[in-house]
Structure 1
Amino acid sequence: QGAAAVGAGLTTAQAGITVAAYGAAVAAAPAGATAQAASAAQTIAFGWIKPDIQANKANSVYLPAAKKAALAPFFTRFLINCDQWDGYNSERKALMSHLKTNNVSNVVAITGDIHAFFAGTVNDDYDAANGGTPVMVDLVTAGISSDSFFSYLKSAAAALGDISTLVTYPVNVPVPGVGTLALSFDLLDYTMGKAAPTVDSLLEQLRVQLRGALAAKGLPEAQLDPTVSAVMAGLKASSDFSVSLLALAQQLAALGNNPWLKHVNTDAQGYTVVTLTPGKMTAQFKQANKLVGSNAPTNVVARVTTATVTAGSAAVAIS
């Protein structure tokens, strides 16, 4: 078949993908014509179109001319924040090498200033396969009053067109008697490496922002939590939220970025309480509810996530 295709004027590569698509269609025949077409299309998309886009980027012939400018940022390498570990790769390698070579264990860094909650390991060589070997643990706390890391990147991404879908998703929620809430769902967490969500975990992620938006509309605090529950029930029934947004978040999580990050919350204010014993260290990441008008909320802490580092292990468990 391949030789015949080449004889008909196709290149060897074109002939190969044509034969593969035909084979996929034949294999899918028992499932019907629709399945055959889908299987052949998938084979062509991933076996021919994807490699061309990877090789030629925004200049690929398979990108519509009208979308080239909008898609160009997807092929651009952005340096988001060099004033952190990523800006000091050689220094990080040297420090991790020192700790590893000299068997210095139980090293945990507790930092902040990036306006987000993170927990994960620091590895010895991120240029190596799988990012190298974990050497120490990094715990990062959000600020109690600063704007979030997500809010900064959301603003920056908004000017770059379609690439903003890696960072945020608009959720407009009409609430009777209150008005329409224009929310920005945080997809940055999933792009960075947060585990794939369920509908319920997506809703829970939105809870603090939703409560704050209702408070900003002047809803009395006694009505906030019941209204949040009612709105979340409506969102769960919405296909835009429970199908479209869920699928997008799951696709971003499936990219598998930064597997050394075990906890990511880039849209939060709060603080961290650390407890140290001979056997372990625990860090309670306490995310705060937003102000109710100019007043502190009755329940300041919205949720608590606990990071646990066991003595002798360069690893962190999240609960």
Structure 2
Amino acid sequence: MDRRQFLKWGSFLTVSAAATGCGGGGGSDNSGPGQRQQIAGKGFGLGVASGDPRPDSVILWTRVDGGDGANLLSVTLQLSDRADFSNLLVNQALTAYPDWDYTIRHKVTGLASATRYYYRFLSGNVSAAGRTKTAPAAGAPLSQLKFAYITCQDWSVNHWGAFDELVQQDLDFVMHVGDYIYETVGAGFQTGNNETRHPPLKLPNGTPRADGAVYATTLADYRYLYKSYRADPRIQALHASFPVISIWDDHEFSDDCWQDRQEYSVADDATPQTARRRGANQAWFEYTPADVSINLSNPSFQNIQIYRSFAFGNLATLVMTDQRLYRSDHIVPESLAGSEIGSRYFVPKTSLQQIEAAKIAAAGGNLLNVSILGDTQRAWWQQQMQGANTAWKLWGNEVSLLRMGVDGTMAVAGLLQQGLSAALAQGFGLNLGPAQQRQLAGALYQDLLAADVSGATPVPSYANTQPLLASLSGGAISAAVFAAAVKPSLDGNLPPSMLLNQYILNADQWDGYNAERKALMAFLKNNNIGNVVGITGDIHAFFAGSVMDDYDAASPTPVMVDLVTAGVSSNSFFSYFKNVVDTVPAFAKAAPLIYQTANGQTVNTFSGTLQQFNPWLKYVDTDAQGYALVTLTPSKLSCAFHKVAKLANGVAPSPATASVQTVEVQAGVPAVNVL
């Protein structure tokens, strides 16, 4: 090797510098650990990929076929500034090792900024050609940046038609904000709703769950999942077309995980799963073209750091965070709530606040035990935001920052009012106008607030509702009539007392770590850091809205914006909550807040419910799959949410997109405009 090449075996990354003129790059790097035989490979069945574009470098990736698990495979990388490879800037001999599952992760430096390059690999035969693009030089004037962002691409749910559309776009890069793979196979939500071109997955090892699903447990399991996903030619085409900047979320290890803890059952997270976490880390590292390092000699599960930042001229700084490896346990432990309901989902807001405050007090005011980012990464995030000298600050943020809560008492009052208004019209000929309906809902709300909730079912006195009805009906509904003909119906529609509460719907996202969110927003606000936009996934729905300094303040102040894309192929947020109200008896009477049935059709009311109780949510679609396309200029950010059509008879629709909703964020204003 000469001075332009070096090999970092501890973190498995080969590096070479591009030649400045015609001709190939430097010599061979066949050196490495051990003296195993080196033979030619048999091709590149998983395609090629690039990632982490910087002004002078990019990471290139492939996996070489033909390995026997013992011998080494020889491979050559070629990179050119011409599509026909007539001018080779790199012509580098490399080695694929069984230790890293015969994957290649190679960093090319010395590249020109804002330039398109072409690359391919040779071993046994020639790989497909990939194209990539470096970032603009730091501080360079930039009039526009175009990128897509995606999340949640479950092999076993819905379809991957979105990738066919994405490869047709003219993009600078693609962001993947997590859940590249799903660690479970055979779960209920993964059964009977996938493409026929995606055969069932069978993990080489795996651990069965009580519900019949099997989850990845070993390094071989996680490698199998990445190899299976990468076998699809549509995802190969996406990777070959654009550099991808990736971060992980939970499913690259385990659903709703924190650190090295899994959450499949109430007591699961009491036991560290260090070996499983390390296997997940290594497989992600091997199959992701990211400019990060892993230290396998470090016995900790925190043997890799994937949070990092990028700059694109003077236009945008992109900060990618890791919201799983350092996060604290959920504020309300499953062991206390008895299940994920009450711990991670449908969490009483007061309980969440009280337990969070107690944990902070026990830590002497430190956020360590109530944090998603952890102290070190939080300080790094603050440095990146404060030090950014670009027009926009983009945050690759796995879980939504937007408050998503429901006032159960108010919601129940609204449902009772709807039912009662209909009954009054039918039974008494009393048709209430909109203003009267609002009065009635208010009276019911006051009665529910004052109700005795010590038992399983609330006992209201209707001290507000009965007099109001008497006044509205001109005496037709006297106290006696109310007691005989109205009260029994109202009482029969009352839900369990537990529903008369304020709920946080998803405490696995930032709503469950409110103190740290407030600290981050205070940092932005106090340091006058504007034009911050969260680029977010995870929740299997589209959301767009402002992130407030304190959602519980009398007059919250918007600080930044969060734009959440739906999953490429995942069960929707709506479907999860529909399942809860359909299967958990305590929530059955809340079903109209999630859906209603009209003419035999299911009508989604969940999106409207969320907007009713969360006015900062300017756009909501809780039953969606799709992706997002962003056009960024100095004056505004435009985001087009592409909602894809459903799978039809096991086949992805063409075109995949069923509808597009565009939202905009104007520079200097942390607000969303829905076009």
Alignment TM class, shorter chain as reference: 0.5 to 0.7
Q: 1:187 aligns with which of 580, 590, 605?
A: 605
Contact 1:71 1:163 in 2 (8 A): no
Which 4+ runs in 1 deviate beyond 6 A?
Answer: 33-39, 41-44
Of 143, 149, 160, 2:567 maps to: 143
Contact residue 171 and residue 185 of structure 1 kept, 8 A:
yes
Contact 1:109 1:137 in 2 (8 A): yes
Q: Is 1:55 the equivalent of 2:450?
A: yes
SS in structure 1 opposite 2:511? helix
Q: CA deviation at 1:48?
A: 6.1
Match of 2:588 among 156, 161, 165: 161
Q: Is it true that 1:152 corresponds to 2:576 in the alignment?
A: yes
1:306 to 658, 662, 674: 662
Change (3 A) 1:313 1:66: closer
**1:224-277, Cα deviation, whole Å (9 max, x unpaired):** xxxxxxxxxxxxxxxxxxxxxxxxxxxxxxxx4211111000000101111111
1:290 maps to 2:631: no
2: distance between equivalents of 1:79 and 1:165? 18
Amino acid corresponding to residue 150 of structure 1 in structure 2: F
State the match for 2:191 in structure 1.
Answer: none
Q: Tell me which residue corresponds to 2:518.
A: 93
Structure 1: where are the runs of 5+ without partners?
Answer: 1-32, 174-182, 194-255
Aligned CA distance change for structure 1 residues 307 and 59 (closer, same or farther; 3 Å): same
Q: Which has the higher helix share?
A: 1
1:108 to 528, 533, 536: 533
Residue type of the alignment partner of 2:515: S
Aligned length: 214
Tell me how far apart the structure 2 counterparts of residues 172 and 42 of structure 1 sit (CA, whole Å): 25
Cα displacement (A) at 1:299: 2.1
Q: Could you tell me which residue of structure 1 aligns to residue 598 of structure 2?
A: 171
Q: CA deviation at 1:34?
A: 7.5
Q: Could you give the per-residue CA deviations for residues 150-205 of structure 1, whole angstroms, max 9, x where no partner exists?
A: 000011012322211111012344xxxxxxxxx32110011001xxxxxxxxxxxx
Q: Secondary structure at the match of 2:545?
A: strand
Please tell me whether Structure 1 or Structure 2 has the larger radius of gyration of its CA atoms: 2
Aligned to 1:259: 615
- Give distance in 2, aligned partners of 1:53 and 1:282: 43
Give the aligned partner of residue 274 of structure 1. 630
Matched residue SS, 1:127:
coil
Letter matched to residue 185 of structure 1: V
Cα distance, 1:35 vs structure 2: 7.5
Listed one character per residue, the Cα deviations across residues 109-150 of structure 1 (whole Å, up to 9, x for unaligned) are 0110000000000011111114x1110000000001100000
- Kindly indicate whether residue 527 of structure 2 is the aligned counterpart of residue 80 of structure 1: no
1:51 aligned partner, one-letter code: Q
* Shift in alpha-carbon separation, 1:291–1:316, aligned structure 2, 3 A: same
Question: Cα RMSD (Å) of the superposition?
Answer: 3.0
- Offset at 1:96? 0.7
C-alpha change, 1:78 and 1:34, in structure 2 (3 Å) is: closer
Cα distance in 2, alignment partners of residues 170 and 37 from structure 1? 24
Q: Secondary structure at the residue paired with 1:191?
A: helix
Matched residues, percent identical? 46
TM-score w.r.t. the length of structure 2 is 0.30
Structure 2, gaps ≥5 residues long:
1-427, 463-486
- Would the alpha carbon gap of residues 127 and 299 (structure 1) be closer, same or farther in structure 2, given more than 3 Å must change? same
Instruction: Give the structure with the larger strand fraction.
Output: 2
Q: CA deviation at 1:45?
A: 5.1
TM-fit CA distance, 1:94:
0.8
Using CA pairs under 8 Å that are at least 6 residues apart, name the structure with larger relative contact order, 1 or 2: 1
1:71 & 1:81 partners in 2: Cα distance?
Answer: 21
1:45–1:143 CA distance, 2 compared to 1 (3 A): closer
Of the structure 1 ranges 65-74 and 96-105, higher mean CA displacement relative to structure 2 is found in 65-74
The answer on 1:123 being equivalent to 2:548 is yes
- 1:217 corresponds in structure 2 to none
- For 1:35-50, list aligned pairs within 5 A: 50=445
The 2-side partners of 1:120 and 1:153 are apart by 21
What's the TM-score once normalised by structure 1's chain length?
0.60
Cα deviation 1:71-114 (Å, max 9, x = unaligned): 53541444421011211111111111110111101100011000
From the superposition, tell whether residues 312 and 297 of structure 1 become closer, same or farther in structure 2 (CA, over 3 Å): same
Q: Is the 8 A contact 1:73 1:163 kept in 2?
A: no
